[in-house]
Amino acid sequence: MKIAIGNDHAAVELKREIMEYVTELGHEAENYGTDTKESCHYPKYGEHVARAVAEGRADCGILICGTGVGISIAANKVKGIRAAVCSDATTARLVKEHNNANILAFGARIVGSELAKDMVKAYLTADFLGGRHEERIAMISEIEEAEGLK
């Protein structure tokens, strides 16, 4: 699986660890984030990862900023993106199983590297359950269409 990984200045170190971990799990990690701790704007990196996922250049994405919130908000502005901020492995699994989230987001100032790895593994090994959840995902898509998101 090809995974687009993006981050801002708050998450440079954690991004490196996560990219290495994703590779250890047998996936391809593609860097869409900054590699410097110089202050930068997270919306740019959220958008880059979201567009890679929405356009099919990546199978899914991982976004990391200070809290995971800002970068995920930016990603969710791209049509077809369902970025979910998580701070535990159970939620990371459930956002894939129930919400078919195509981007996992978390905060470098919120979770440590071992918990982040646990979340990444839970997310990447989970599958969308479909069934009753499909109708809900369709409803989310209808909201996007009604808003004219592109």
Q: Which residues are part of the catalytic machinery?
A: 65, 98
CA angle 122, 128, 134 (to 5 degrees): 150
Across 4-35, b (16+ Cβ under 10 Å) vs e yields bbbbbbbbbebbbbbbebbeeeebebbebbbe
Contact 2, 58 (CB under 8 A): yes
H-type alpha helices, 63-131: 69-75, 89-97, 113-125
The alpha carbon of 108 is separated from its chain's Cα centroid by a whole number of angstroms, namely 13
CA angle 14, 68, 5 (to 5 degrees): 55
